[in-house]
Structure 1
Amino acid sequence: MPPKNTNNNNNLLHLLNAEQVHLPLGNLTLNEKTTKKIIYQPEGHPKQAIIDGEIWPPVFEVEAVRSAKTMKPLPSDVFVCTYPKCGTTWIQHICSQLLFCSEYGPHQGKELCTTSPMIERVGADYCNKLQHPRLLKTHFSHHNCPQNNLSKYIFACRNPKDCLVSYYHHNKNFKIYDWADGNFDQFFQLFIEGKLAFGDYFEHLNSWLPQKQNNKNLLFLKYEDMLKDLKGTIILIAKFLGENSAKLIENTQILEKMIKESQLESMQQNQTRWFPGNALHNESFIRKGCARDWKNYLSREQSDLIDELFKQRMAGTEAENWWKDEMRWEDEEEENEEYKQQTEEETTNNDSGMESGDDEENCFESQNRRDSVTSECYSTTSCSSDTSSNF
């Protein structure tokens, strides 16, 4: 019989001798360090682990997480820092082309997750064996991220609605979460409560925002800006990395090749170069690279809830006015379409002398048609392609 969730859980953990403890608890909270990794999976939730009071994927190990926090970065290190599903792989791919040139490619056994590893997944010892310069990935909040004033840090963020939807698919696809049939509404609740692996989206963004000002070794990117101007993003990253990377893009042919290699269609090819295919239910790690895909998933109530949460959590920060267009319920196309349909309906009603009851029924049917058009629109044109990807 599994242990009950009581206020004595923290004390109980010190008495357990196993390397890791499996608990089917829904509200487990740890406020102190333990020597154990707690794996738990409430009914209907992704499988997760708790290490030192923080939520991690279930395969992460205590020593790896702790050693990553205290590792000593080298002056030549480049860190790609994000909350999950905010362009991490995309930026790693761009940086790999800029840093490693011809040595970088889709070589079997050299997946990006091994050549540019997540430090909290592999630990400091693994990272110390990598050749220099090291391109390192992390989902750490700023206070956990190892610092060196000479290292370079690229931080990327994304609007929370699209981040949420992409992270939902990520949890369904990765076998480690044991959640292939996961429910979106349950995942939505975990997201807004900050009870997912790698922690709270809003806390993570707030931890990095103050570093944006007067920090010469930090490049701050938005996923949506990268979508709008890929060429400009590559040039920006190259100049930030400096030296050989900056010189590399002076060659027009090389720059154009990088742009092509960093587009959706190219990144969808040979997807085992990102992660081993056997780690996924669906070998396609890359899903959709677009803005406003959330409109296909969130209800109006859920959308409004995130809007309010974003307003509260980002109040007084530089981010409080970000992503207005990406997060609004209706975009300009929808508003124009709605206005056009309303005008046509009013004209038709005036011409036919329709009674109020008929008018109400007609409006209802029109709304259904509009919802259908909107859904179709967001399933196709809002993304870069029907088979586009989430980097």
Structure 2
Amino acid sequence: MSDLYLNYKGTLFPNMSTSVEDLAFVENEFQVLDDDIFNVTYPKSGTTWMIDILSLILKNGDPTWNKTVPNWDRAPWVETLGFAQKLKLCKEHPRLFTSHLPRHIFMKTFEDSKAKESRGVVLYTRLSYTPEYTVIYTIRDPKDTAVSLYYFSKMSAFYKDMESIDDCLKDYLFGNIPYGSWFNHVKGWMKMMGKDNFMFHTYEDLQRDLRGSVIKICTFLGKELDDKEIDSVVGNVSFKNMKENNMSNFTLLPTGYMDHEKSPFMRKGIVGDWKNHFTVTQNEYFDKIYKAEMQDFSVKFPWDTSINQ
């Protein structure tokens, strides 16, 4: 294992961004409030995009918060160094948090909030009883996620530099990277499907119909935004605007953490970039592993059609 990583209950984490003590605090001591909102993703699946979307929705489309406060302060990562202290500074309510944690080591108090299961599969509709914590889980085509992680490893001190796409896939497909296996992450979190406080959607949904996705998220959160406010959310989270917003693009971090000269954090923001990187052999191998891992998984994603042909 690289010195860059620590192992917590079988999952790797970057040493630069967390510690065993921080992870144990989150798992065992972090007290979840009933109106907390959790933006959960596997790395490079639209995390930053969703932070800005949720920040704007909570402020009724007003971009001031997004343009004046770094995203890591608007929606702190729960597994980062010193989170217990950062938690004391969270004055906004509802509190907005971000996490890449796999479901099996998420906070134990998470199960003790007032969450109730709905009687059917409800993805976008909140019921009218007492507010409860919510989880918005964004999933991205794992091939595009792998490519994005490859470039991220080039510019980020948190990850081992993956020398080639082939090198990346060897670690990625078997979970030998921070936050573990994409397959286990998705299958773990999707066990919440059917609970009214859980919403999942895909990065591809956001790309295909951003405005429609924003409206669905508003409905899920019980936020009523008018057309002008929704337009503001959509406009401010365009790739161009976020790439130019220093509060969103991570250029405020020292180069010792992220070197944007090697690769910009916000690189392309597109669907299907894996086609520009995978060889035929790599793609066939990826599909073989994907089919084996997801063969008993009932939910179908937009990319499943091409993989299962």
Alignment TM-score, normalising by the size of structure 2: 0.83
Match of 1:314 in 2: 294
SS class of match (2:12): strand
Inter-partner Cα distance in structure 2 for 1:96 and 1:327: 34
Inter-partner Cα distance in structure 1 for 2:301 and 2:216: 23
Q: 1:177 aligns with which of 142, 148, 159?
A: 159
The aligned runs of 1:1-391 (5 Å cut-off) are 25=1, 40-41=2-3, 47-59=4-16, 60-70=18-28, 71-101=30-60, 102=62, 103-107=64-68, 110-122=69-81, 123-131=83-91, 132-146=93-107, 147=110, 148=113, 149=115, 150-177=132-159, 179=161, 182-213=163-194, 215-242=195-222, 246-247=223-224, 249-250=225-226, 252-275=227-250, 276-278=252-254, 279-282=257-260, 284-319=264-299, 322-325=302-305, 327=307
Stretches (4+) displaced over 4 A = 325-329
| More helix, by proportion | 1
Inter-partner Cα distance in structure 2 for 1:321 and 1:97: 27
SS class of match (1:117): coil
1:265/1:322 CA distance change after superposition, 3 Å: closer
- What amino acid is aligned across from residue 73 of structure 2 in structure 1? T
CA shift digits 1:333-358 (9 cap, x unpaired)? xxxxxxxxxxxxxxxxxxxxxxxxxx
Runs (5+) with no aligned partner, structure 2: 116-131
SS class of match (1:97): helix
CA contact (8 A) 1:78 1:134 kept: yes
TM-superposed CA distance for 1:308, in Å, is 1.3
Runs (5+) with no aligned partner, structure 1: 1-24, 26-39, 42-46, 330-391
Match of 1:36 in 2: none
TM-superposed CA distance for 1:291, in Å, is 1.3
TM-superposed CA distance for 1:196, in Å, is 0.3
1:285/1:320 CA distance change after superposition, 3 Å: same
CA contact (8 A) 1:68 1:120 kept: yes
- What amino acid is aligned across from residue 258 of structure 1 in structure 2? V
TM-superposed CA distance for 1:311, in Å, is 1.0
- What amino acid is aligned across from residue 83 of structure 1 in structure 2? Y
Inter-partner Cα distance in structure 1 for 2:203 and 2:248: 22
SS class of match (2:158): helix
- What amino acid is aligned across from residue 33 of structure 2 in structure 1? L
CA contact (8 A) 1:314 1:320 kept: no
CA shift digits 1:138-173 (9 cap, x unpaired)? 111222223232101101111110110011111211
Higher relative contact order (CA 8 A, sep 6+): 2
Aligned residues: 277
TM-superposed CA distance for 1:306, in Å, is 1.4
Match of 2:129 in 1: none
Inter-partner Cα distance in structure 2 for 1:237 and 1:206: 22
TM-superposed CA distance for 1:322, in Å, is 4.5
CA shift digits 1:215-265 (9 cap, x unpaired)? 0000111111111000011001111111xxx22x22x22211111111111
SS class of match (1:209): helix
Inter-partner Cα distance in structure 2 for 1:190 and 1:178: 11
Quick check: which has more Rg, 1 or 2? 1
Inter-partner Cα distance in structure 1 for 2:246 and 2:163: 23
TM-superposed CA distance for 1:326, in Å, is 5.8
Inter-partner Cα distance in structure 1 for 2:185 and 2:232: 34
1:129/1:277 CA distance change after superposition, 3 Å: closer
